[in-house]
């Protein structure tokens, strides 16, 4: 075939640089992970060439006999992994999965309850700058001021006052277990649908570390496949049989065009990997590592929102540590030191979302590369050292050297 020659040096040099960055620096972004070679292989396969609008057995294009089997395999593995009645594996992202659910179940202007952005919720849970907040009447609930955990009194009061058509649970920056049962009970009391956005914790659910919202009565569970679940970038929806047709129609043709078949295949690989016994051990190690990191950070005088963690992330409130240190300033200093994480709002944050007073720190990726509790103590100390020495380039360089040395023993892609 007339493939272009010479090799695209510019682009592939950039990819090589990114492999080097991932190999030599510490990845603590709570929503990131390292996929397996099998997931990478499926993502880079010729399935990217195919068009397959529709669903298995009901396509608008020919030549889909293999793709049908791939998508069936992905759907069957997803339903088996979470004990769901139906799966849609086509959403390109978690945001698309959430928007498809709204499109399937709500009319424009309908009332929905969701966790407020600065309390740990996601943009698609009704933020005014997101389509969810512009199209639907989202009413927010939050966390308590006392223990910074979901305030179920607030959820129930808001539900009784506003009679929502749907209640959305789930979070993007919340470090505690979310019990679906009180949400289910409140939804039943007001006749609302109950959707759980498990984008962050899908891998912890699959690995038996967190309760399964499907088993606890959620009508719908959305999730992403690339965070704790360790698959390719993408989203998925689980639902009851009763909602299946509406959900499928909302994903396609409602919201998206053709599915990304190479990504659907890689999702199937990730579901297979997550069903293996060793994935339970992996999920347990993510949680243990987050607890160890929390202990180290708290030991260095950093305040943790809610006092700690039950999942894969820690949310640090920097205000009591250093009133001048915003989340953004801290993140930029840590970036220079080779530690990647993100600034994040903390509950009732006085700073805007692009500055923030907090840091969100996650352990899925470092756990995948084999780091354990001893390394979490080291990373906690290096984060503290960077925050204190953020204006001293010698200190930053010293931390970066220590990070590089740590990563040498845990290189995620040594053969890349
Ligand atoms: N960007 C994802 C996260 O980091 O949590 C959510 O969209």
- List, for residues 349-375, the tens digit of each pLDDT value: 999 999 999 999 999 999 999 999 999
Same domain, 144 and 286: no
Spatial distance between the Cα atoms of 113 and 307, rounded to a whole number of angstroms:
26
Residues in the chain: 416
- List, for residues 155-182, the tens digit of each pLDDT value: 999 999 999 999 999 999 999 999 999 9
46 falls in which pLDDT band (50, 70, 90)? very high
What's the mean pLDDT when you consider all of the chain? 97
Given this model, what pLDDT does residue 322 score?
97
- What is the distance between the terminal CA atoms of the chain, rounded to a whole angstrom? 26
Given this model, what pLDDT does residue 251 score?
98
Is residue 113 within 8 Å of residue 102, measured between CB atoms? no
Q: Does 344 contact ligand 1 (Cβ within 6 A)?
A: no
Q: Taking the CA of residue 404 as centre, how many other CA atoms within 13 Å lie in the half-sphere pointing to its CB?
A: 10
Given this model, what pLDDT does residue 5 score?
72
Closest to 363 measured CA to CA, from 387, 388, 339:
339
Given this model, what pLDDT does residue 63 score?
98
Give the three-state DSSP class for 315. strand
Same domain, 346 and 259: no
Given this model, what pLDDT does residue 3 score?
82
> Average pLDDT for residues 209-215, to the nearest whole number?
98
Same domain, 356 and 252: no
Same domain, 385 and 257: no
Same domain, 267 and 284: no
Same domain, 184 and 295: no
Given this model, what pLDDT does residue 415 score?
84
1 falls in which pLDDT band (50, 70, 90)? confident
In a domain, 16, yes or no: no
Given this model, what pLDDT does residue 339 score?
98
> Average pLDDT for residues 3-24, to the nearest whole number?
91
Spatial distance between the Cα atoms of 337 and 339, rounded to a whole number of angstroms:
6
Q: Which of 131, 199, 314 to mutate to test the pocket of ligand 1 (most atoms within 8 A of CB)?
A: 199
Closest to 91 measured CA to CA, from 248, 273, 270:
248
- Of 223, 249, 274, the position where a domain reaches its end is 274
- Of 223, 258, 274, the position where a domain reaches its end is 274
Q: Does 31 contact ligand 1 (Cβ within 6 A)?
A: yes
Closest to 42 measured CA to CA, from 225, 179, 194:
225
In a domain, 91, yes or no: yes
**Which of the 8 DSSP states describes residue 258?**
S
Q: For residue 151, how many other CB atoms are within 10 A of its CB? A: 18
How many Å separate Cα 84 from the centre of its chain?
20
pTM value is 0.97
Q: Which of 31, 92, 96, 132 to mutate to test the pocket of ligand 1 (most atoms within 8 A of CB)?
A: 31
Same domain, 159 and 206: yes
Is residue 341 within 8 Å of residue 387, measured between CB atoms? no
**Owning domain of residue 339:** 24-35+278-408
Q: Retrieve residue 61's tokens.
A: 């294009």
Task: Examine the residue annotation and report whether 174 is marked as an active-site residue of this protein.
Answer: no
2 falls in which pLDDT band (50, 70, 90)? confident
Same domain, 287 and 206: no
In a domain, 264, yes or no: yes
In a domain, 413, yes or no: no
Spatial distance between the Cα atoms of 66 and 268, rounded to a whole number of angstroms:
14
Indicate which residue of 50, 51, 72, 411 is catalytic.
51
Query: What is the per-residue DSSP string for 278-335?
Result: HHHHHHHHHHHHHHHHHHHHHHTTPEEGGGS-SSSEEEEE-TTT-TT--HHHHHHHHH
Same domain, 341 and 366: yes
> Average pLDDT for residues 344-353, to the nearest whole number?
96
In a domain, 372, yes or no: yes
Q: Retrieve residue 125's tokens.
A: 């849970």
C-alpha of residue 373 to centroid of ligand 1, in Å: 25
Spatial distance between the Cα atoms of 81 and 338, rounded to a whole number of angstroms:
36
- pLDDT at 126 > cutoff 90: yes
Given this model, what pLDDT does residue 286 score?
98
Same domain, 233 and 285: no
Same domain, 83 and 231: yes
Number of domains in the chain: 2
In a domain, 415, yes or no: no
Q: Retrieve residue 303's tokens.
A: 């305040």
- Of 274, 305, 335, the position where a domain reaches its end is 274
Which CATH number goes with the domain that contains 144? 3.40.640.10
Same domain, 269 and 295: no
C-alpha of residue 216 to centroid of ligand 1, in Å: 24
Spatial distance between the Cα atoms of 61 and 195, rounded to a whole number of angstroms:
33
- pLDDT at 6 > cutoff 90: no
Among residues of the chain, what percentage have pLDDT more than 90?
A: 97
In a domain, 19, yes or no: no
> Average pLDDT for residues 121-130, to the nearest whole number?
96
Which CATH number goes with the domain that contains 310? 3.90.1150.10
Is residue 19 within 8 Å of residue 216, measured between CB atoms? no
In a domain, 416, yes or no: no
């Amino acid at each position: 075939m007339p493939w272009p020659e010479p090799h695209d040096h510019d682009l592939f040099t950039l990819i090589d640089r990114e492999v080097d960055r991932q190999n030599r620096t510490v990845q603590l972004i709570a929503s990131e992970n390292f996929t397996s070679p099998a997931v990478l292989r499926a993502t880079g396969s010729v399935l990217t060439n195919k068009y397959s609008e529709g669903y298995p057995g009901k396509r608008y294009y020919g030549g889909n006999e293999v793709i049908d089997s791939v998508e069936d395999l992905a759907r069957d593995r997803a339903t088996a992994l979470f004990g769901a009645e139906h799966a849609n594996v086509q959403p390109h992202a978690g945001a698309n999965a959430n928007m498809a659910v709204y499109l399937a179940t709500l009319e424009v202007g309908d009332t929905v309850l969701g966790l407020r952005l600065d309390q740990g919720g996601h943009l698609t849970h009704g933020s005014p700058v997101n389509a969810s907040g512009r199209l639907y009447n989202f009413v927010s609930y939050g966390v308590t001021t006392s223990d910074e955990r979901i305030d179920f009194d607030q959820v129930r009061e808001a539900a009784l006052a506003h009679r929502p058509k749907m209640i959305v649970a789930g979070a993007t920056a919340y470090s505690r277990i979310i019990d679906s049962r009180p949400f289910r009970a409140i939804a039943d009391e007001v006749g609302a649908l109950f959707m759980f956005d498990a984008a962050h914790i899908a891998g912890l659910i699959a690995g038996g570390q967190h309760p399964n919202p499907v088993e606890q009565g959620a009508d719908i569970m959305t999730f992403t496949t690339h965070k704790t679940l360790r698959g390719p970038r993408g989203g998925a929806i689980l639902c009851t049989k009763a909602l299946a047709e509406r959900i499928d129609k909302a994903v396609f043709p409602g919201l998206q065009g053709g599915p990304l078949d190479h990504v659907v295949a890689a999702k199937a690989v990730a579901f297979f990997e997550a069903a293996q016994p060793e994935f339970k051990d992996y999920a347990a190690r993510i949680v243990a590592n987050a607890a160890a990191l929390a202990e180290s950070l708290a030991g260095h005088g950093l305040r943790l929102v809610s006092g700690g963690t039950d999942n894969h992330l820690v949310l640090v409130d920097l205000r009591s540590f250093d009133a001048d240190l915003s989340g953004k300033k801290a993140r930029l200093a840590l970036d220079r030191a080779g530690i990647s994480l993100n600034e994040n709002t903390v509950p009732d944050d006085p700073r805007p979302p692009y500055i923030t007073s907090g840091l969100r720190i996650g352990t899925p990726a470092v756990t995948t590369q084999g780091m354990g509790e001893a390394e979490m103590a080291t990373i906690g100390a290096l984060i503290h050292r960077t925050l204190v020495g953020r204006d001293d380039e010698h200190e930053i360089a010293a931390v970066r050297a220590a990070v590089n040395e740590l990563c040498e023993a845990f290189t995620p892609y040594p053969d890349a």
